[in-house]
Amino acid sequence: MRRLVAWNLMTLDGYFEGKTLWALDFHETVWGDELHDFSLEQGREAGTLLFGRRTYEGMADYWTKATGDIADMMNSIDKAVATRTLDEATWNNTRLLKGDAVEAVRALKAEDRKDIFVFGSANLLDSLLTAGLVDEYRICLAPVVLGGGNPLFKPRESELRMRLESTRPLKTGGVVLTYRMNG
Amino acid sequence: MAKLVFAMNLSLDGYIDHEHFAPGPQLFRHWIDYERSIAGSVYGRRMYEIMSYWDEERPEWTADEREFAEAWRRQPKWVASRTLQSVGPNATLIGEDVEAAIRDLKDRHSGEIAIAGARLAGSLANLGLIDEYRLYFHPVVLGEGQPFFDGVRPKLRLEASDLIGEGIVRLTYVPA
């Protein structure tokens, strides 16, 4: 069983995007050489990138037009998108996971490859966290307070307890926190 | 000139609902030492009512709890409230003009004055009175609750990142 690692940037008040879709200006406060290298390292750790449909559409649009080492990694790597509505995925090397996302991700985890990484995809991650399918959560906390927007973590039945694995402050003022999920 | 600090436990997703943050021995020791170190605390009404718990001795307390209570009682407390008529030992009500009262406290003291209460912290931050934020991130996600930053969006600069133990990381920010 391979691991599933979630990676996201979040503000100090818990938002991963602003009030509109892809309002990600706050990323600029923490982006730099360190996160660039970190992204490439994660690309090397990853066997498959997994997305929810909305994140998939934005990522596909962005990375197919981008160039550079991160774009090369994003465009070439094995990808999967969990969706009820899409009928085809045109981004290179992308599979559709139709039907029940939790069951599809269980099957994806059983494949004999390197780890699964999920970027963005807050709604999908909410289901996966509830189903206990997330093994590790890496979060870069940006020194930003948005005051409103799209929360990374959704209201839930009970609190989610984790184990702090490491902390890494960045020169830009971001802090990368790594948590292991219990259970 | 005292420094005004807002230091508080919160969840990874930014909520301060206190019933989720029962401290382990390391964190409790940390807060006891902190209570001892400060020049005093400014309370909002709700947080003062919660913390007044420590004014009345309880037979079931542990040694640590008695130590915390002692430190808490010893420090001067100022309570910003429009509704409370009276406050407990070693506490003073702040009148209508909270801003003037806080500026006066900062002038008259040295060291650190702690702000207790997110709503109060939010209004003081909007007046430009908070000098430092310390966010004690607990390894827990709540999904909803009372926000640490209440009605305020300060521009911040990361000052320090410290491990407290028990899975808690303290991030210190100052206004940018």
For the four alpha carbons of A31, A34, A35 and A36, in that order, the dihedral sign comes to: positive
Average pLDDT (B115-134) is 95
Residue B18's pLDDT is: 85
The whole-angstrom separation of Cα A96 and Cα A99 is 10
Q: Please report which helix (H) or strand (E) contains residue B25, including its range.
A: helix B25-37
- Domain with A62 in it: what CATH number? 3.40.430.10
Domain count, chain A: 1
Instruction: Report pLDDT for B63.
Output: 96
Strand extents, DSSP E, chain B: 3-11, 40-44, 77-80, 91-94, 112-116, 132-138, 140-141, 156-165, 168-175
Yes or no, beta carbons of A12 and B139 under 8 Å apart: no
Query: What pLDDT is attached to residue B19?
Result: 86
Checking if the pLDDT of A183 tops 70, the result is: no
Residue A49 included in any domain: yes
Range of A134's domain?
Answer: 4-18+31-181
Question: Does residue B160 lie within any of the structural domains?
Answer: no
Domain annotation covers residue B57: yes
A181 DSSP assignment: E
Q: Is residue B95 part of a domain?
A: yes
- Judged by CB atoms closer than 8 Å, whether chains meet at B142 and A159 is answered as yes
Residues A81-104 have pLDDT tens digits of 999 999 999 999 999 999 999 999
> What is the per-residue pLDDT for B22?
87
- Residue-level pLDDT at B140: 97
Is position B85 within any domain? yes
Number of domains within chain B: 1
Q: How far is CA B53 from CA A74, A155, B26, B67, B107, in A?
A: 55, 30, 21, 14, 30
Residue B30: which domain range? 3-150
Nearest to B153 among A10, A139, A145 (CB): A145
Residue B93 belongs to domain with CATH number: 3.40.430.10
Whether A25 is in a domain gets the answer: no
User: Average of pLDDT values for B14-24?
Assistant: 91
Asked if A181 and A135 touch (Cβ cutoff 8 Å), the reply is yes
What pLDDT was estimated at residue B80? 95
HSE value, Cβ hemisphere, 13 Å, CA-based, for B87: 28
Interface predicted TM-score (ipTM) of this complex, two decimals? 0.95
pTM above 0.90, yes or no: yes
Nearest to B139 among A145, A175, A179 (CB): A179
